[in-house]
Amino acid sequence: MIERLANQPARNLPLQFFRAGKKAAVRTAEADRNAKRLRFAANDVSSGFAGSLQQPKAHRFGNNDDEQGSGFVRGVGQLLQFFDAAEKVRRLHDDCANVFAEISQRFRLQCAGRFVERRLGDDTARQNRVLAARLPISFARAERAKTDSLALLEILGDAPEQSRRGLQLFVDGCKAAGFRNLHENRYPPEAYMEDYLNFIEKQRAAAGSRAHSPVLATPASATYAKGDPQELTNRRIGETDYRYNWLGFQGNDLQVTVQLQGDSCSEIRVSFLQDQQSWVFFPKRVVFEVSEDGVHFRQVHAEDFDIMPDGKKSTKTAGASLAVAPAGEKIRFVRVTAVNTGTCPTWHTCNGNPCWIFADEVVVR
């Protein structure tokens, strides 16, 4: 499919790749964590746990014409032998064996990629076709990083310009391969880069939040995030897909009380999702309150949202910068109330049915 698409003068990255990237981001995160736990098993295998296999020696890859890649070939041969032995381990749990197989497959693909690069030489047309085949993988890795804690830490540790340069490489690759959009709904790579950079900035703000131990006045729907209130303080920002990093309430208001690390705050922010085709609407009103004892609250902000027909998925943030608290007042609790419109509006095709509100993270700084 990729090679066929690569011969078209103007094309989009197929929608199934775009969707598969997001699904792979969630489904492979657990496998990656298991792989890290299995490093000790790999050491056991290399020292004879599965046979008389010796740990492969390091070989430098051939980098000039004289070497003819001989060092690379020897190193690959021994490493492939290592992975073959690892796959034969039967004393491990089936999930562990599956992870070994996945690691082995990834390595074989990397070896094949190096071989292809050597054979392509200066053939620009063929290089672009190979690039077109790799771009969906790059996209999937970028999406997976959003759900992997260690990857997020690495991203947040990068300077903004470093993140922009990395994403620009992806955009340039799409241009070189002829991908004008990431899917059939006309999502250009340039827009994806800006959205990703905005996600990083929001994620950076959420990472500094001091809110914890959320308590809901009304339970959330168990359909999304299992209704776990911790979704509101897990330092994960949601995008425009309500299935990931959002907590949903159908027909009910959201009211959550969070505790703070410390006894003061200067900023409160909460983002909401709108996807009217899926009966998801912004709340009609959002209220922020603060308290010292978790019982008596003082309102510090109220904000109304206009709900108008809109066929696009979007997010909106309710935020407030707090003025200096009265002398002696300590802020140890924050309460957020988002008022649901109740039912889909009269102009909606499903008017009268209970609608949803989705919130992603209560950020208190």
- Structure tokens given for 246: 């959002």
Six token digits for residue 4: 């066929």
Whole-number Å distance between alpha carbons of 227 and 225: 5
| Whether residue 267 sits in one domain with residue 137 | no
Which has the higher per-residue pLDDT, 194 or 118? Answer: 194
Q: Residue 182: what residue type?
A: L
Q: Say how many domains are in the chain.
A: 2
Q: Last residue of some domain: 154, 180, 204?
A: 204
- CB contact at 8 A, 176 and 128: yes
pLDDT of residue 293: 95
Tell whether 77 is covered by a domain.
no
Instruction: Return the number of other C-beta atoms located less than 10 Å from residue 94's C-beta.
Output: 8
Residue 48: inside a domain: no
Q: How far is CA 66 from the centre of its chain?
A: 44
Query: How many angstroms separate the CA atoms of 235 and 208, rounded?
Result: 8
pLDDT of 219 reads 97
| pLDDT given at position 354 | 96
User: Are the C-beta atoms of 365 and 267 separated by less than 8 Å?
Assistant: yes
Q: Between 124-145 and 94-120, two packed helices, what is the crossing angle to 10 degrees?
A: 150
What mean pLDDT do residues 113-135 have?
66
Q: Are residues 255 and 285 in the same domain?
A: yes
What domain range is 249 assigned to?
209-364
In a shared domain, residues 28 and 105: yes
Same domain, 235 and 279: yes
pLDDT given at position 22: 54
Looking at 174, 204, 234, which one is the last position of a domain? 204
258 located within any domain: yes
Whole-angstrom Cα distance, residue 70 to residue 63?
10
Query: What is the rounded CA–CA span in Å between residue 151 and residue 32?
Result: 11
Within 195-310, strands assigned E span 211-216, 247-250, 254-260, 267-274, 285-291, 297-304
The average confidence (pLDDT) of the chain is 76
**What angle in degrees, to the nearest 10, is found between the helix axes of 160-177 and 124-145?**
140
Asked, for residue 151, whether it belongs to a domain, the answer is yes
pTM of the model: 0.65
Residues 211 and 233: beta-carbon distance below 8 Å: yes
Residues 300 and 219 in one domain: yes
